[in-house]
Chain A
């Protein structure tokens, strides 16, 4: 059974702070890793993806991947109230299918 785990939260951070979201996965064959944001009642929207160990930055977002530890994280710098949402980690293996984690609810306090 391929599992993706996330802390459910809520994670509360003040506006302007760094939010750190974590994800672990069980399948060592996983190849690519995705972070989605989901607002209540809406569909997931892709924030960014990462394939290689290390960091990948896109604007205020940084994804970090450590395949040896089976760990991927998302940092959000200068958090804004509009970042308040549920963040989903998704993992894809050699196939084309995605396994989603349960999501972490982030609340950015003004």
Chain B
């Protein structure tokens, strides 16, 4: 069964450092998403990506964040200068607008900012 993969599973970084979180979407899916979930809190939408450009972004997704699909397969989330409050689980998800209309989540990357 196709699945979304994410690397790394856990990233520890110092405040102010840049991090890049990587996702490999399911190959025939067209919509990609990044979500954040702070420990004990709800899943929060960050950004959606379609046809190689951002289609929508939330208030959380400020200038410190960026997304790109550098090589046509990987989908990355970059945080330019991490803050303590960026510590969270980051989930990549892809959406199939075909028959099932199902959003598949990757296993997540746990980001810890020290």
Contacts and interface: CB of A to CB of B under 8 A. Distances in A.
B97 A96 contact: yes
Interface stretch (B14-22, B66-74, B75-83, B102-110): B102-110
A45 interface: yes
Interface in B83-106: 91, 95, 97, 101-106
Interface in A60-108: 88, 90, 95-103
A88 B55 CA distance: 24
Nearest to A44: B105
A49 B31 contact: no
Interface residues of A, number: 19
Nearest to A101: B42
B43 A95 contact: no
A100 B45 contact: yes
Contact of B101 (A49, A99, A101): A49
Nearest to B31: A96
B45 A42 contact: no
5 contacts: A49-B101, A96-B50, A96-B95, A96-B97, A100-B44
Given A46-B102, A90-B103, 5 more contacts: A32-B101, A42-B108, A49-B101, A95-B55, A98-B33
Interface of A: 32, 34, 42-46, 49, 88, 90, 95-103
Interface of B: 31, 33, 35, 41-45, 48, 50, 55-56, 91, 95, 97, 101-108
* Across the A-B interface, the 10 shortest Cβ-Cβ residue pairs: A43-B105, A102-B42, A100-B43, A43-B108, A96-B31, A97-B56, A44-B105, A97-B48, A43-B107, A43-B91
